[in-house]
Amino acid sequence: MPLTRRDFAKRSALTGAGVALAGSVGVLATAPGAIGAEAPDGGQEGAADGSGIGYGPLVADPDGILALPAGFSYRIITRTGVTKLDSGESTPSNHDGTGTFEGPRGTTLLVNNHELKGPRADWPHPVPLAEGLVYDPAASGGCTVVEVAKDGSPVGEWVGIAGTSTNCAGGTTPWGTWLTGEETEDKAGEHGMTKDHGYVFEVDPHDRRAGRDPKPLKALGRYAHEAVVVDPKRGHLYLTEDASGPNGLFYRWTPPHGFRHGRGRLRSLAADSGVLEAFKCFDSGGRFVDDLSRATKTGTVYGVDWVEVPDRDARNVSVRKQFKDGEITRARKLEGLWWADGGAYVVSSYARDESPVQHDGQVWFYDPRRRTLTLKVLLGVNPDPSKDDALDGPDNITVSPYGGLIIAEDGEGVQHLFGATDDGRTYPIARNELNIGTAAEPEFSEFTGPVFSPDGRTLFANIQEPGIMLAITGPWQRQR
C-alpha cells in the first residue's frame, strides 16, 4: 500500500533526528571535503583530526602491503599465485565481497567472492571448475570457502561455486549461508558465455554437497547484482544494482505467502515466485525524487514506495530500463548493503555527470517499519584523491561491534579502510601500500569485503588485485 503524505510526515518527524542505534551508527555525517552538516561546536563534522577517535596515525609497512595504527598487525590468509586450494590450484584472483561464519572446533569460515568477468582464458587464476559445483563452464568467477583456525592461521580453502561471472558483493543469511551476486547482464552467446548470467546464487560454507548442481535464484531477478541482505523479521530480501545509462535501482523481494526461509529453500522456488519491486522515493512535501544524489545534507529523509518489476528475468529489456521517468528512483553505483539495527545500510559509491548532483559517496539507512530512507553519510567530491587523508568512493560496508561503520574505499588514488563514528567523525584503519602501478604512476587496488569474525576479534578484508585476504587484529575499542 502506498504511503500517504500524512503518513510520511509522521514518520519523517520520528526519523529525521536519526535512527536510534545500539552499538552502531547514530547520526553519521561527513568525511573531509564533504557537503552538509555542521558539528555541535560549529566546525564541519567528519574532520579526520584523530582527536579522541580511532587508533592514531597509520604506520608505514616495511613489507609494502598494509599500513596500520601502532599496536595492530595483519596476517595474509590467502594470496593469488602464492596460496593453494585444497585441490592444489592457486587461490583465484580478484577477491571481493566476503562473509564470515562460525566453523567447527572454534574455526572461522569465510566465503570469498572472486570478481572475474568473461571467459576463463582471460584470467591467469580463475575459479577452478570443481566437479559438481559448476554453473557455466565458460565463466571464470565464483566463490571459495576459506577456513581459519582460532589462532588466526589458515587451515584450508576450497571451491564453493564455480562457473559464475563477476561475483562482486553478496550477503550472509540468518540461516548461515552466503548469497553471491553476479554483476553482469551477459546472456548465453555473449562474451563466450554458454548460459545466461546476472543472477544470485546460494553457497553453503558448512556443506559442500549443498552446492552441487548450482541453480540461479531467478526469483530475485537478472541484472547487475551487487549486495543482498535479508530482513529476518519480515522475510524480505533487499538488493542493490551497480549500473549506469540509466542509473541502477534498489530492490525488494517479497517471498510468496507461506514461504519459510532456510538452507536451500530459495533454490526450490519457481522463477516467478514472490514479488520483485524497485523503490520510489518522495520528500516530506510529497514530491517525487528521481535520483538519490538530490540529497545534499545528512539527515535528509525520504519516504519509500515500491513498484513491481514487469519482467524480472529481463528477456528483452534490462530491468532498470523497463521503467519510465517518474516511476522509480535511481542512484549511481548502488553497492554495499548491511543489515543491522532493524534495517539496511545502503551505499551509493559516487555520482558524476550521469547523476543530477555530483558526490563521492553516500550511506543511507532504510527503515522497513517506517518505510523511510535516511542519509547518514555524505562525502563531497574529493579534490585530490592522491592525498592520504582524503576519502572517497565507499563500497563494501559492515557495522562494527565496536560502534559505527567500517567502510572499504573504492575510489581514486590512495585506498583506505576507514571507520565512521556515531557522531559523524571518520578515522583511518588501514591503507593499501601495495603499488600495482609504477613508481612514476602509482596505482592502488580497492579494498573489499570488510567483515569481522564471529567473535569480533579479527577484521577480515581484501585487497582486490591481485587478490589478498588479510586478517587484522589489535587493540580494538569502542568508538564513542
Residues in the chain: 480
How many domains does the chain fold into? Answer: 1
Cell of 287: 514530491
* pLDDT at position 2: 53
Strand ordering across the sheet containing 58-59: 58-59, 66-69, 426-432, 416-420, 405-409, 394-399
**Residue 246: is the preceding peptide bond cis (ω within 30°)?**
yes
pLDDT at residue number 34: 32
% of the chain residues with pLDDT over 90: 79
Nearest to 125 by CA among 109, 153, 144: 144
CB-facing half-sphere around the CA of 296: CA atoms within 13 A: 7
- Closest C-alpha among 405, 398, 415, 402 to residue 449: 398
- Separation between Cα atoms, residue 111 and residue 203, nearest integer Å: 8
Q: For the beta carbon of residue 433, count every other beta carbon within 10 angstroms.
A: 19
**pLDDT tens, residue by residue, 293-344:** 999 999 999 999 999 999 999 999 999 999 999 999 999 999 999 999 999 9
Q: Is residue 392 within 8 Å of 44, Cβ to Cβ?
A: no
The ranges of the chain with pLDDT < 50 are 4-50
Q: Say what the pLDDT of residue 382 is.
A: 84
What is the reported pLDDT for 14? 39
3-state secondary structure of 355: coil
The sign of the CA dihedral 10, 291, 391, 399 is positive
Amino acid present at 6:
R
Q: Within 13 A of 96's CA, how many CA atoms are on the CB side?
A: 26
User: According to the model, what pLDDT value does residue 413 have?
Assistant: 87
150 CB-side CA count, 13 A: 3
CATH code for the domain of 293: 2.120.10.30
Please give the Cα distance from 423 to 427 (Å, whole number).
Answer: 12
Give the pLDDT of residue 42.
Answer: 31
Pairing of strands 301-308, 167-172: unpaired
3-state secondary structure of 320: helix
Q: Is residue 375 part of a domain?
A: yes
Q: In what order do the strands lie in the sheet with 178-182?
A: 167-172, 178-182, 200-203
Residue 18 lies in a domain: no
Q: Residue 255: what residue type? A: P
The answer as to whether 55 is a domain residue is: no
CA dist 1 → 7, 264, 273, 329, 374 (Å): 12, 31, 20, 18, 20
- Residue 1 is predicted with a pLDDT of 52
**Could you give the residue ranges of the DSSP H alpha helices within 255-298?**
none
Does residue 463 belong to any structural domain of this protein?
Answer: yes
Q: Are strands 58-59 and 66-69 parallel, antiparallel or unpaired?
A: antiparallel
In a domain, 10, yes or no: no
Q: Which domain holds residue 355?
A: 70-473
- DSSP symbols for 60-93: --TTSSEEEETT-EEEEEEETTTSB-TTSSBPPS
**Distance (Å, whole) CA 112 – CA 98:** 5
| Residue listed under C-alpha cell 587484522 | 472
Is there a domain that residue 382 lies in? Answer: yes
Question: Does a structural domain hold residue 25?
Answer: no
In a domain, 86, yes or no: yes
**By CB neighbour count within 10 A (0-12 exposed, 13-18 middle, 19+ buried), where does 242 fall?**
buried
Q: Could you tell me if 97 and 227 are in contact, meaning their C-beta atoms sit under 8 angstroms apart? A: yes
